Amino acid sequence: MDLFKKCGSLEILNMAKEKGIYPYFHQLETKQGPEVVMEGKNIIMIGSNNYLGLTSHPEVIEAGIKALEKYGSGCSGSRFLNGTLDSHVALEKELAAFLHKEDVVTFSTGFQTNLGIISSIAGRNDYIIGDKENHASIYDGCRLSYAKLLRYNHSDMEDLERQLKSVPETAGILIVTDGVFSMGGDICKLPEIVKLAKKYGARVMVDDAHGLGVLGKHGRGTAEHFGLEDEVDIYMGTFSKSLASIGGYMAAKREVCEYVRHTSRPFIFCASITPASVACARKSLEILQREPERVARLRDISNYMRKGLVKAGIEILDNNDGTPIIPIMTYGNVRTFTACQKLFDRGVYVNPTVSPAVPVGHSLIRTSYMATHTEEQMDRAIVQIKEVLDEVKDIED
């Protein structure tokens, strides 16, 4: 059989292109902000993970420019060899202090961070137990580790304990969960997870990509939200969301971080984060600590939108957790693609989520919000969402 035969199997995407409802790769022409210009249209952006609104902050931009002037455009090597800048080390120290952990290791992307942590920490004789709705990068990290992967039903603590009971006493166990789940916007049941981990001698890793800058009084994430900062063994997070840059990090005890630095292939064999990206992440972290009110504002605007959608009779997946991720139920793939295109034409950008990313018949529109959004922008978006959903309600796959 021809290796490339599979390349012609994207029927749903080809159909979407033919119908003019293909929703991907829209081109931005301005900074990522509450309102943007995409393909010549003025758009309310409610499909971004720029939670604190810092990607266009003048101090962040200035920091990136100064780093570019000082260090040049790149490091031309891995952190392990010639690619470590003094600013990389400074970022790690600042993050460790902020997160109340002994040490931090930074990676070049968020996806790579999960690959690098999990494949290094877990091995052939270990077990990884993860929530079924964990991010794809967690799953790929598990594959690279060669550890035995067990999955528990989403946020089902009885199922988690059942999986823990099945692990041999001689095996190491890593429980891995998203802090804030990226599609549903719900928060993991961290208190119960920590309790079960202690009972069965497991370690806990939380992917807080959507938790940093979002949860907790100071924005430290899921563990701060629950008052469990000393109970999580490994934090994973990214710079591409609240910290307005690119890259990722691991925060843990010093000996664990040192082990990963010297054994993680995705860390050792990848060029380091660019100087400008490091500077932007550092400045964003500084602003987060200086202006914790951004975290509260993000929660307020998200709840304003949540209440507005419900009042308008729009069906949302409401977990009552107050996160800035609000899924709007559309159920069918074609209906979802059509709704997203109509919203784009009317000046509202959202993200389609269709099977196989979600189960067949459970497609949705993922919306997400920024601390810098205004109530007026939200009101305008609600009107358009309501009108479009009424227009597409009879479309079937």
Q: Nearest Cα to 36, choosing from 326, 349, 350?
A: 349
Residue 108 lies in a domain: yes
Task: Decide: 273 and 108 in contact? Cβ < 8 Å.
Answer: yes
Residue 227 lies in a domain: yes
198 and 163 within one domain: yes
Point out which residues pair with 178 in neighbouring strands.
207
DSSP category for residue 94? H
Q: Identify the pLDDT of residue 396.
A: 84
Q: Identify the pLDDT of residue 355.
A: 81
Spot the catalytic one: 182, 240, 245, 363: 182
244 and 313 within one domain: no
337 and 190 within one domain: no
258 and 111 within one domain: yes
Per-residue pLDDT of the chain in tens (397 residues, 90 and over written 9):
899 988 888 888 888 999 999 999 999 999 999 999 999 999 999 999 999 999 999 999 999 999 999 999 999 999 999 999 999 999 999 999 999 999 999 999 999 999 999 999 999 999 999 999 999 999 999 999 999 999 999 999 999 999 999 999 999 999 999 999 999 999 999 999 999 999 999 999 999 999 999 999 999 999 999 999 999 999 999 999 999 999 999 999 999 999 999 999 999 999 999 999 999 999 999 999 999 999 999 999 999 999 999 999 999 988 777 899 999 999 999 999 999 999 999 999 999 999 877 888 999 999 999 999 999 999 999 999 999 999 999 988 7
Task: Decide: 221 and 100 in contact? Cβ < 8 Å.
Answer: no
Residue 51 lies in a domain: no
172 and 80 within one domain: yes
Last residue in a domain, options 241, 257, 290: 290
Provide the domain limits for residue 353: 8-45+292-392
Domain at 116, CATH number? 3.40.640.10
Residue 271 lies in a domain: yes
Residue with tokens 């924005």: 219
Task: Decide: 174 and 205 in contact? Cβ < 8 Å.
Answer: yes
Q: Is the dihedral of CA 280, 286, 291, 296 positive or negative?
A: positive
Spot the catalytic one: 57, 101, 135, 210: 210
284 and 325 within one domain: no
64 and 14 within one domain: no
Residue 252 lies in a domain: yes
Q: Identify the pLDDT of residue 322.
A: 87
Residue 2 lies in a domain: no
155 and 271 within one domain: yes
Residue 82 lies in a domain: yes
239 and 345 within one domain: no
Last residue in a domain, options 290, 306, 340: 290
Tell me the C-alpha distance between 325 and 327, whole Å. Answer: 7
Size of the chain, expressed as the number of residues it contains: 397
Domain at 370, CATH number? 3.90.1150.10
Residue 270 lies in a domain: yes
Q: Is position 210 annotated as part of the catalytic site?
A: yes
264 and 308 within one domain: no
Number of structural domains (the chain) is 2
308 and 217 within one domain: no
Last residue in a domain, options 262, 290, 318: 290
Spot the catalytic one: 57, 241, 283, 342: 241
CA distances from 18 to 14, 15, 39, 338, 353 (A): 6, 5, 19, 12, 19
Tell me the C-alpha distance between 166 and 171, whole Å. Answer: 11
Q: Is position 182 annotated as part of the catalytic site?
A: yes
